[in-house]
Every structure is written in C-alpha cells, then in structure tokens.
Structure 1
Amino acid sequence: MTERRQYYRIDHPVVIEYQSVAESQVKQSPRPDQFAVSPYFLLQSQLRDIEAEASHYLHRLGEDQPAIEACFNMLNRKIELIASTLAADSFNLEQGQSQFINLSEGGLNFTCPDALEPEQLLALKLVFTETRLGMLLYARVRRCQALPDAAGYEIGAEFLDMPESCRTQLARLILDAQARKRQQALDLTNE
C-alpha cells in the first residue's frame, strides 16, 4: 500500500525542544507554556498575523490611493527590520542544536537521543533559524524508529490543534522554501 501525503514537505533547519505532556495540558491551552521564552519569541509570528489581517485593507487602499499604500508598505518594512533585529538579539540559539527536520503543515520528523512512545503527547518549541520565527505547538508521536549505529531515533509527529495563525505561518514558510528550491533549480539549469 502506498502512502499519499496530504501536505507538501520540506527539509528545514530548526532548533527544536520538546517535553512530554499530559492530555489535560493540551486541552488547557492552544499553545504550550512549558518553555521559558523571551517576550520577543513570538514577535515575528504576531507581526505576521497582524500583517495578514491588514493585507486586505492595504490592498483595497492601494486601488484608490497607491501612494498611501506605498507609504504603509515602507512603514511595514521598517517594523519588520526592527522586529528582526530584536528577535535576533533575543533568541539564544545556543540552548539547542540546529537540525534539519522534515516539515509540513500537518507534522514533522526530527531526530532525538531518546526513544518516544507512539501516541505520546509533546509540547514543541521550534525556532526557524533562517527567519528567527518562533512557534510553540503540541504534537502526537506517530512513530519512533531507531537510527543506524545507535545515533538516536527518528520521530514522526503530527501537530495537534494548531492555531490557525501557526498553520498560516508554516504554509508561508513552506511556500517560500519551495520557491527558493525552484529558483535554485532554474539557476543550475541556466549555468
């Protein structure tokens, strides 16, 4: 039987932390609170949520007032630059080792030193090293497979009750990665 994937998957560098949690903790809050994070940890994500909300209005404004739209776009870029600088200064990437994970809107595969039981619930802290985007999510372990040479375990996990804003952020990140991959392939064929 062949498996058909519901979501497009990418390999992406991420610093990942995880903790086992009880089902009651998952039901208590849509975002895990098990991790100590700075006030800037979710800043990029929150700004992108606001940008998504405002984009419809900005587009409508641009139809009638293109100069005002251009001004708002410049202000948005300034805010993004400030947020990126704050986020870069606040993330302590030394706490975790970056690894390439296989990621989709539905879940992820990552490696870890410990075996995790299938159906085990996890709180996840993800830091996307390229964008400094931070996410706190819940997941359920779907599989745990030993890696060769006792190098740890590959964990397959499915996201649980992901907030829509996180799903949107992941979709954008995946689309951007796809676009970069296509551009790199085009650049190679044009050489």
Structure 2
Amino acid sequence: MSTLDEEDRREYYRIEDTIALEISPLSAHDAAGKDVLQDASPLFNLLSELHLSEFESQHLLRQVSERDRTLANYLKTLNKRIDLLGQVVAQTVLGKFGEPQRVTLSEGGIEFEHHLSYPAGTHLAVKLLLMPQALGLLLRAKVTHCETRSFGTFEIGTEFESLTDAQRQLLARYILQKQALERRQAREQNDPVAD
C-alpha cells in the first residue's frame, strides 16, 4: 500500500491476492446511484446473484439445522452442487476477463496496477472475480490515489462506495478465508510433518 494511503482503511484487514479484475469509469448518473450495479454480461450477473442469494439464505439453513439435521445435511449437499455449478460459470466468465493480476484487497477498497491513469476522485465500476470461490462482484469505487509505477502503468488505490451489507459480508468472508488459508500454508511450510 502507498504511504500516502496509510491512514485510509486501516480498520480493515487487507490481503495480497491474484484476481480477475476489470475497471471502467462510471457515468455521473451511475456514480451517484445507490442501486446495485449490473454488468452487461448475463453470466456475470447470475454468478453475483448466486452468491448473494446463498449469503442471504444462510440463516435459514441454520434454523433448519436446529430442527432437522437430515434435511440440513441434504440442503448442504445441494448447496455444494450449486457451488460447483457456480465454479463452471466462473470459468466461462474468467475467459472474458484479461489475465488475473496482483491486487491488495480489503473490505474498504482495492489497490491495483492499471495501464490507464485515473485522477483522485474518479468514480469507477470495479468488476472482481475471486477464485476459487467463484465470487463475482461489481462494485462502485472512488479513486483515492494514482501514482506512476513503471513505463505505462499506474498504481491506483480506491475505496468502495455504496456496498450493500451482503456485498460487504461476502467480501469480508472471502478475505478472512484467504487469510486463514495463508496462515495454514505458512504453518505447514514452517512445521513440516516428519515422515
């Protein structure tokens, strides 16, 4: 993260990750809107809706689990099958993105390198495809800084705007799962099991 951005978003966990990412400037109308952004790709929108509906139904699954474990186990199995279908859709959507790239991601925003410069205050549509969960999110963001990195690339820091609670929770869950995986992998590398 840039030192200019040290005070921004310190309350959020941040991770380094490689994701599929598309950036496009928002019109003044879309930047001012509070509705969830929709993508031109129906597959990407379906992928987003799949995860949002799964998130919104988690509390119902917990209630069913308290009353009927067999039914809850069956529903969890169905959910796993739907997740697999979501991963198939994500692989199809991934083909329409460019190469995955390194980013710094938090609940508060995203920092990435880009071939175009966007001045601070510019409103962007940030389209994320987070793997392996096949989580597709289309979010509003405002540029907080833009610095020249190397010939033809710029480091752009953004903060997310107008996230729904479900979007924020999905992003937070992804970040926490990624951190847990990294800690587990670090432990395994530092403490290999002797054969």
- TM, length-normalised to structure 2: 0.85
Query: What pairs with 1:146-165 in structure 2 (closer than 5 Å)?
Result: 146-148=148-150, 150-165=151-166
Q: What is the CA distance between 1:170 and its match in structure 2?
A: 0.6
Which of residues 123, 126, 135 in structure 2 aligns to 1:124? 126
Moved more, 76-85 or 151-160: 76-85
Which of residues 57, 76, 79 in structure 1 aligns to 2:82? 79
Q: Partner residue of 2:144?
A: 142
Q: Partner residue of 2:32?
A: 27
After superposition, give the CA deviation of every residue in 1:82-135 in whole Å (9 maximum; x if it has no partner). Answer: 23223323x143541211110000001010112211111111222224333221
Q: Which amino acid aligns with 1:122?
A: L
Count of residue pairs the alignment pairs up: 187
Q: Which amino acid aligns with 1:126?
A: L
Moved more, 46-55 or 136-145: 46-55
Closer/same/farther in 2, CA of residues 70 and 131 from structure 1, 3 Å limit = closer
Is contact 1:13–1:130 with CA below 8 Å preserved after alignment?
no
Which of residues 88, 99, 105 in structure 2 aligns to 1:97? 99
Unaligned runs of 5+ in 2: none
Q: Partner residue of 1:189?
A: 190
Structure 2 CA distance for aligned equivalents of residues 167 and 14 of structure 1: 17
Task: Give the secondary-structure state (helix, strand or coil) at the position aligned to 1:36.
Answer: coil
Q: Which amino acid aligns with 2:30?
A: Q
Structure 1 CA distance for aligned equivalents of residues 97 and 60 of structure 2: 40
Which of residues 53, 56, 62 in structure 1 aligns to 2:56? 53
Moved more, 53-62 or 171-180: 53-62
Q: What is the CA distance between 1:75 and its match in structure 2?
A: 1.5
Q: Which amino acid aligns with 1:58?
A: L
Moved more, 127-136 or 110-119: 127-136
Q: Partner residue of 1:166?
A: 167
- TM, length-normalised to structure 1: 0.86
Is contact 1:42–1:133 with CA below 8 Å preserved after alignment?
no
Structure 1 CA distance for aligned equivalents of residues 179 and 13 of structure 2: 9
Is contact 1:145–1:154 with CA below 8 Å preserved after alignment?
yes
Structure 2 CA distance for aligned equivalents of residues 68 and 83 of structure 1: 22
Structure 2 CA distance for aligned equivalents of residues 47 and 68 of structure 1: 21
Cα RMSD, aligned residues only: 2.2
After superposition, give the CA deviation of every residue in 1:128-156 in whole Å (9 maximum; x if it has no partner). Answer: 243332211111111011114x2411000
Structure 2 CA distance for aligned equivalents of residues 57 and 94 of structure 1: 34
Q: Partner residue of 1:63?
A: 66
Is contact 1:44–1:134 with CA below 8 Å preserved after alignment?
yes
Closer/same/farther in 2, CA of residues 61 and 129 from structure 1, 3 Å limit = closer
Unaligned runs of 5+ in 1: none
Structure 2 CA distance for aligned equivalents of residues 152 and 141 of structure 1: 15
